[in-house]
Amino acid sequence: MAKEIASTTKKEQIDVQAMIDSYVVQAHVALDKMANFSQEQVDKICEAIAKVGEQNSYLLAKMAVEETGRGIVEDKTIKNMFASENIWNSLRHEKTVGIISEDPERQLIKIAEPVGVIAGVTPVTNPTSTVIFKSMIALKTRNTIIFGFHPQAQKCCVKTAELIREAAIKAGAPDNCIQWIEYPSIEATNALMTHPNIQTILATGGPGMVKAAYSSGKPALGVGPGNGPAYIEKTANYQRAAYDIILSKTFDNGMVCASENSVVIDKDIYDKVKKEFEAWNCYFLNKDEIKKFETTFIDPRRGTVAGPIAGKSAYEIGKLCGVDVPEDTKVIIAEYSGVGKEYPLSAEKLSPVFTMYKVSGADEAFKICKDLLSYGGRGHTVGIHTENKELIKKFALAMSACRILVNTPAALGGIGDLYNNMLPSMTLGTGSYGANSMSHNISAADLLNIKTVAMRRDNMQWIKVPKKTYFEHNAANYLKHMPDVEKFFIVTDETVAGKYANQITDIISQRLGKKSYEVFQAVKEHPTTDVILDGVHRMNIFKPDAIVALGGGSVMDAAKIMRLFYENPDMTLEDSYQKFIDIRKRVVRFPKTNMVQLVCIPTTSGTGSEVSPFAIIKDTQTGIKHTLCDYSLNPDVAIVDDNFVETLPAKLVANSGMEALAHAMESYVSTMATDFTRGWSMEAIKLIFANLEKSYKGDQAARSKMHNASTLAGMAYANAFLGVGHAIAHTLGSTFNIPSGLSDAITMPYVIKFNAQRPRKLPIRPHYSVFRADKDYAEIARSLGIQGKNDQELVEGLINKFVELAKSINMTLNLKDNGVSEADFNNKVEQLAVEAYGDQNIVTNPSAPLIKQIEQLMKKIYVG
């Protein structure tokens, strides 16, 4: 008695905060010492913990039962052995120190670091086994741990910690790697959890303690209450199911929180299962006994099992609740029909007691199981006994539980390893269902900071062009021999149809075997969604296996989009023009293959659409032009036949030539330009500067060269993409009815100057490792014979040469002199800048433009 009084006096005199401060300081000293431990040193320490835990499993179990008055010594012995043997076996080969993984293909290295000093809170239900478990996973990860033991299990937990710490230190661990609050109290445990130098909380205990852990402002790994039901479905091996449930509920007197709290049984086998339970000495309460039992068994304040009852035997519980049950009773069962406060025994029980429900089938069973989980067990564990594999999946999908155990005793299945391949653990997360941060069985991996070393990755680049490209005079004759097609749908416009449609149909008519064709000539200069839908409607009637696009960019773009929507009727326009950063990772997926072949025959020399994955469409409703881009839009065959450009009007030669030049120059400086695409871009640039003026004046040889240059530029931008120049040109062109090519030319001098300056905002592109647009423009200038002392002079020279070329083909390079009203422009420019920013071409510009910068560029372009 004197000893107890002295102890109480010491507790009253203790400075709780100073005590906790002392523990934490010592823990950090130990933490620093372990920082440089090798995996081998760590594993040696953990193996020593496992050995001492197993060697003393009975002693510690006996102490726990004697101190707490709960559970069964033999079962707690098994728990201690599980926490030592099974946990260590699962961790034995796990890397937790330094570099734990290297992925040479993805060029990622993972490095494990300890989280720091851990506050470990332990329960009265599984005291000694939890100390073994938490100590092992803490030291396996080079963390130190300070325990706050449950006051009702202080002595057995202290003994466990002393044995473990001594073994760990002998194996090489530093002093104070494991500590505990010597004088336990709620105040002390709260001071530990909220201490600024505690890094993580590992909490197992009652709802109040776990809530306090999560409210501490620290990362916390906790568990929630378990009120898990088990459903015995009519196809189950009911004898095995009954055996498993009795095993689970009697193991340590039902104190494993994963154990079954209710059993739901199909009516088809209900009586058989009941007889099986009776044969195993289970006691069924009658209606009067249920009322009496409920009064004492349930704590009216908390709505769950009363504290003195948890962990007692069925016989002891019967006596406490005023119900006489045989001394050899294994489990007490109450047959129930409802869930909730009006049915008190439907709550968590932590004892060899469960409620039993009869149901008409799976639908009713699912509902009751979900109701039970919602009444204090969400996220924890649920069981099903059945031979119906499909039903297992449906059950798992329907239940808000993180462990769905099949044909398994839940108490032993929930902790993992023994009856299944789940990770063994003494701390079972319940996820957000149960207000937890983790939904799995907690282990060492959860006590690590993982550092990721990510090497710079240059994404794989590509070149994609039509499968076949035919060029030179009379190349259109390919259609005479094109294999595997019979029905040709010719897309064109009225002007081109009047000139060349007969030439194409004559070639098709010369084919051997079955052939047919239809000419669709409704495409206008800026194809609209209405025209596309009309073409798709005609295709649905004709059912072509080949589409021939004969015309300029508008016609070829229309044909591409018609094929897309003809083959993919569920796709929407909004889906098709979604902007993306990386075409391989875009949100909206285009088809990977096309059944209908697309042949493009350009009748102008500018768009390059015959070899590109781009298409431009104008929304009939809004009037806005949208750029579609995907390699499924690529034609299958391109025919570059100069027959179709011999009689082009001079103005169209000028416009299309400047469009091709814009394609070539923007693709050359694009952030996606490669050694492959730059060759096409540069050759096109040189051809255009050498031949555009001559072609404009009627030189047929130059016109043929321009036709080839347009396709080369198309192949370049098809793979390197474009930039802000085209984004602005598309927007201004569609708004103010300025032809393509002219809008590109008006824009280009200002875009070159803008891009050649060091960008205010840098573009995101791993392949684009350094800013180089100024040097790229300088290289273009050199290839054209322009002289300059430095890159800046070369860029200025390139701009001047571009302006001279434009003047030579009678182009005026501003919006004002091309009929755009200043008032109209000023009213729209702010919104136009936003529209241009939304254009896909923005993404690959060498300077990532801000919307305000685009607006400023547009204002400069207006006055020229």
Whether the Cβ atoms of residue 223 and residue 435 lie closer than 8 Å to each other = no
For the record, the structure tokens of 243 come out as: 């055996």
Let me know: does 710 contact 605? Beta carbons within 8 Å: yes
Task: 388-395: list long-range contacts, CB under 8 Å, 24+ apart.
Answer: 388/233, 388/235, 391/233, 391/362, 394/362, 394/366, 395/231, 395/362, 395/366, 395/369
Other beta carbons within 10 Å of 647: 9
Report the DSSP pairing between strands 625-629 and 637-640.
unpaired
Contacts of 856 (CB under 8 A, 6+ apart): none
Nearest CA to 600 out of 465, 463, 743, 464 is that of: 465
CA angle 616, 659, 833 (to 5 degrees): 60
DSSP calls for 271-328: HHHHHHHHHTTEEE--HHHHHHHHHHHB-TTTSSB-TTTTT--HHHHHHHTT----TT
Strand order in the sheet with 546-551: 468-471, 637-640, 597-602, 546-551, 487-491, 516-520
Cβ neighbors of 96 (< 8 A, separation 6 or more) are: 39, 42, 112, 140, 141, 142, 444, 445, 448
Pairing outcome for strands 108-114 and 98-103: antiparallel
Tokens of 798: 């390139």
Q: Is the dihedral of CA 51, 52, 55, 58 positive or negative?
A: negative
Is 257 one of the catalytic residues? yes
Residues of 597-636 as b/e, b for ≥16 C-beta within 10 angstroms? bbbbbbbbbbbbbbbbbbbbbbbeeeeebbbbbbbbbbbb
Pairing of strands 144-148, 178-180: parallel
Q: Report CA 117 to chain centroid distance, whole Å.
A: 31
Q: Is the dihedral of CA 141, 147, 150, 156 positive or negative?
A: positive
SS3 449: strand
Helices (H) and strands (E) in the chain, counts: 31, 23
Q: 354: number of CA atoms within 13 Å, CB side? A: 34
Task: Find how far residue 245's CA is from the centre of its chain.
Answer: 39
- The strand pair at 401-406 and 614-618 is best described as unpaired
Give the Cα separation of 333 and 346 in Å (integer): 11
Cα–Cα dist 373/368, whole Å? 9
615 vs 556: CA distance, rounded Å:
8
Q: Using only the alpha carbons of the chain, give its radius of gyration.
A: 39
Active-site annotation holder among 157, 177, 257, 282 = 257
Name 580's Cβ contacts closer than 8 Å, sequence gap at least 6. Answer: 586, 587, 629, 840, 843
- At a CB cut-off of 8 Å and minimum separation 6, what does 823 contact? none
Q: Which of 51, 31, 47 is nearest to 146 (CA)?
A: 31
At 577 the three-state DSSP class reads coil
Query: How far apart, in Å, do the first and last CA atoms of the chain sit?
Result: 102
Residue 706 to residue 695: CA distance in whole angstroms? 7
Instruction: Give dist(CA 62, CA 70) in Å, integer.
Output: 11
Return the active site residues. 257
